[in-house]
Amino acid sequence: MHDEFPSKLVVTKPGRVEEMRSGEEVSAMVRLHELGWGAKRIAQEFGCARNTVRRYLREGGVVPYRQPVRRTAFDGLDDWLRERFFRHEG
């Protein structure tokens, strides 16, 4: 189940890169846990860290990545900027 050359890499923490697991692999991890397998045994089977398995089990499967909402220095100033723009004709 563990490929020799990972197709996707993901940075989990600064300086730490892990292979990104497919949805099928994560679903299999969850299913094996439901059958009574422990996180350590699942990790050995899939060739990944025990804490990686524990994270997937805690989340209940794959959780899609959500990009954080980024704030800018101009948030909340739309009306003021529009007024200045039209007052000075661009």
Residue 69 lies in a domain: no
CA-to-CA distance for 5 and 19, rounded, in angstroms? 9
Q: State the average pLDDT over residues 8-14.
A: 59
> 39-71, pLDDT tens digit by residue?
999 999 999 999 999 999 999 888 777 888 888
Q: Is 29 within the bounds of a domain?
A: yes
Whichever domain contains 47, its CATH number is: 1.10.10.60
In a domain? residue 80: no
Instruction: Tell if the pTM clears 0.75, that is, is over it.
Output: no
The pLDDT of residue 20 is 73
Distance CA 21, CA 45 (A): 13
Query: What is the distance between the alpha carbons of residues 1 and 58, in angstroms, rounded to a whole number?
Result: 22
Q: How many domains does the chain have?
A: 1
Burial (0-12, 13-18, 19+ Cβ within 10 Å), 56: buried
- Cα atoms in the Cβ-side hemisphere of radius 13 Å centred on 79: 1
How far is Cα 76 from Cα 14, in angstroms, rounded to an integer?
A: 33
Percentage of the chain surpassing pLDDT 90? 38
